[in-house]
């Protein structure tokens, strides 16, 4: 199971290193009758199943990338895909089902460099384009992920 529509505000936890007030406002909108016309990035992407499909396709690219594939050699990609799907669902304003480590801790011992982070973001953007996600929405997804850079690069 990943994130779905059943969570409530009470069940939501603070997400590791991704929350800001804008995100909270977005997620809060979902739990009350929605009189607001602005959709969360999560909803605009098509919710959990669409995000799951993007993440699976993204990981195929990750495993083929000369720049980053070595990092994922001994990783269980089924479990990793589920974690990333839940994380992206949450980070884009969907329900919070993410129970993994925070971004600094998860990547601390990997000694990652800028080129690795850029490659991951580029592969995700390429995947979103393949899924016909608009440039505007891709920009909004990137806005959610780019602030994680310093944590992921442990600096
Ligand atoms: C926007 C960028 C990134 C996001 C949102 C992201 C997200 C995540 C998440 C949610 C996890 C699961 C944490 C856990 O196991 O509890 C994870 C683990 C992992 N990430 Fe990333 N990540 C990013 C960048 C990178 C980069 C640049 C690399 C390496 C090239 C990388 C390699 C890994 C590996 C190997 C794991 C598995 C760690 C383990 O199981 O011990 N990630 N990432």
**Which CATH homologous superfamily contains domain 21-152?**
Globins (1.10.490.10)
Q: Say if ligand 1 is within 6 A of residue 144 CB.
A: no
Nearest CA to ligand 1 atom 20: 107
DSSP of 89-100: HHHTTS-----S
Average pLDDT over the chain reads: 81
pLDDT tens-place string over residues 41-80:
999 999 999 999 999 999 999 999 999 999 999 999 999 9
Residues of the chain with pLDDT under 70: 1-37
Q: Say if ligand 1 is within 6 A of residue 142 CB.
A: no
Domain spans in the chain, listed from the N-terminal domain onward: 21-152
Q: Say if ligand 1 is within 6 A of residue 152 CB.
A: yes
Nearest CA to ligand 1 atom 21: 107
């Amino acid at each position: 199971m990943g994130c779905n529509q059943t969570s409530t505000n009470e069940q939501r936890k603070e997400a590791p290193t991704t929350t800001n007030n804008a995100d909270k406002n977005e997620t809060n909108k979902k739990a009350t009758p929605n009189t607001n016309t602005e959709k969360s990035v999560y909803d605009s992407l098509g919710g959990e199943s669409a995000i799951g499909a993007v993440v699976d396709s993204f990981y195929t690219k990750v495993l083929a990338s000369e720049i980053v594939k070595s990092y994922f050699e001994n990783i269980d990609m089924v479990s990793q895909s589920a974690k990333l799907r839940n994380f992206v669902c949450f980070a884009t304003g969907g329900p919070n089902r993410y129970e993994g480590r925070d971004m600094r801790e998860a990547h601390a011992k990997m000694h990652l460099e800028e080129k690795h982070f850029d490659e991951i973001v580029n592969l995700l953007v390429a995947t979103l384009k393949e899924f016909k996600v608009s440039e505007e929405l891709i920009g909004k997804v990137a806005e959610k992920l780019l602030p994680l850079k310093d944590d992921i690069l442990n600096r």
